[in-house]
Amino acid sequence: MTQQPIRIAVVGHTNAGKTSLLRTLTRRIAFGEVSQRPGTTRHVESVDLEVNGEAVVRFFDTPGLEDAVALREHLAAGFDAQATPPERIRQFLRGPEAHGVFEQEAKVLRTMLEIDAAFLVIDVREPVLPKFRDEIELLNSCARPVLPVLNFVRDAASREPAWKELLSAYGLHVQVRFDAAAPFVGAEQDLYDDLATLLRDRRELLRGVADSLAAEAVRRRESACSRIASLLVDAAAVRRTVSSTEFADDARRKALVAALQKDVFDKAQHCTDDLLALYGFRQGDADEAPLPIIEGRWTLDFFSPEAMKDAGLRLGKGAVIGAAVGVVADLAVAGISLGAGAALGGAIGGAVSQGLGPLGRKIANKLRDVHELTVEDGVLFTLAAWQLKLTQALELRGHAATQRIATESPEDGDAPTRAAAAAVRGAQPARNHPEWESGGIASRSFWRPSPQREALVAELSIALQRAFVETP
């Protein structure tokens, strides 16, 4: 028999971050409305957290408690003193004030009586005022387990110790630190583990939720690394053949190089868009989270040494990468002269297919009087390192964040740098397979990745995942 979802009310003072918390927990950036205006949420809205296609937790986003002080006085003066706290709440909900001056509070309390537990979201930057004590007493009157969620604890204005003292005074000793804008590593696990201590009869289900979320995070990271690996293979496989006549024409050569740069840049931007979607962020959504995809589009000129220097992207021992489109001019390859190449006879045109690899291709190009445009390793490294840093930032970003993603660049010898460098070395076989470039000139109209290409992507993905395993 399918279990009913656990019903959780998300309650708290106006603008404490209730909707923001739900966006982060459910990874639904479009849920509800988030604003600095007071009282943004005016109605109770529900959203499900699903595991394997089944709703396991049903969250209820509630309006902010706006006048708890007056409502506490109203309950103390106008209702049966012998009644239990929940009975007085029910009496109030049947009265006219619940549809009048205390309409917003009534929506919260009505929800509280119908749920299994509540998350009390607290903006710990707020001073501990008497009104918050009244809010806690009102919620406790509903006789439902309440788990305080301390929000914005990283802020310099945090008053976390004072809030913990107040909550403990009202018997709320189990508390969770959870920054909805930048969740702590393992914060979701702690949230559901602590909730399980309050809902012992649903403990197994909550443990299953925590385990499923952890497994989902692993799969998401693996998918991200696979996507970056595919970008690397794509870029390494890029090869544009240019005739000597075109190559000698300065304007024509610059146009061809610019076209190749745009192709690679577009591939990188598509990868960025895919990573944002994978982590539940929308490309073009500026309502709440002005990501660099909106302001700057996480853009980097992968072909400008100066831009890369500004970004601080480095390889090796402090050597700034001079990223540019690599131009392979096959004028004298490995000391082989035209005559020596010609001695190979007519079969030289099929050198690549016969297993002579890059050397054979360059000899063939020499005979055909053509050059090739390819992408240097420095560019490949920049692509990998940049996308890895974006992925790391997305893993630490809540769906309530309003600040731009931190754009810290890899440092010499750190995990992203090592992983990116290893992946670039591993991507070299793709240089011999221009047909591996998705949408490339060498690809057929109905392009499908070959098993060999997919095997290389899987191998590179493992190398890229070390950036996360090795990160503290």
pLDDT in tens, 79-117: 777 889 999 999 999 989 988 889 989 999 999 999 999
CATH superfamily of 6-198: P-loop containing nucleotide triphosphate hydrolases (3.40.50.300)
pTM of the model: 0.74
Q: Give the pLDDT confidence score for residue 227 in this predicted structure.
A: 97
**CA 227/CA 464 separation, integer angstroms:** 10
Structure-model confidence comparison of residues 135 and 281, the more confident one:
135
**CA 277/CA 275 separation, integer angstroms:** 5
Q: Give the pLDDT confidence score for residue 303 in this predicted structure.
A: 58
Q: Give the pLDDT confidence score for residue 298 in this predicted structure.
A: 47
**CA 418/CA 435 separation, integer angstroms:** 28
Q: How far apart are the first and last CA of the chain?
A: 42
Name the token pair of 298: 């996480």
pLDDT digits (tens, 9 = 90+) for 380-402: 888 888 888 888 888 877 665 65
User: If DSSP codes are grouped into helix, strand and coil, which group holds residue 152?
Assistant: coil
Contact criterion met (CB below 8 Å) for 369 and 329: no
In the chain, list all ranges with CATH 3.40.50.300. 6-198
Count of CB atoms situated within 10 Å of the CB of 349? 15
pLDDT digits (tens, 9 = 90+) for 341-352: 333 333 333 333
Residue 324: pLDDT band (50, 70, 90) is very low
Residue 8, CB half-sphere, CA atoms under 13 Å: how many? Answer: 31
Residue 64: pLDDT band (50, 70, 90) is confident
Q: Give the pLDDT confidence score for residue 437 in this predicted structure.
A: 92
For residue 351, the 8-state DSSP code is T
**CA 455/CA 432 separation, integer angstroms:** 15
Q: Give the pLDDT confidence score for residue 309 in this predicted structure.
A: 52
pLDDT digits (tens, 9 = 90+) for 209-222: 888 888 888 999 99
Please check the confidence at residue 142 and state whether its pLDDT lies above 80. yes
Percentage of the chain lying above the pLDDT 90 cut: 25
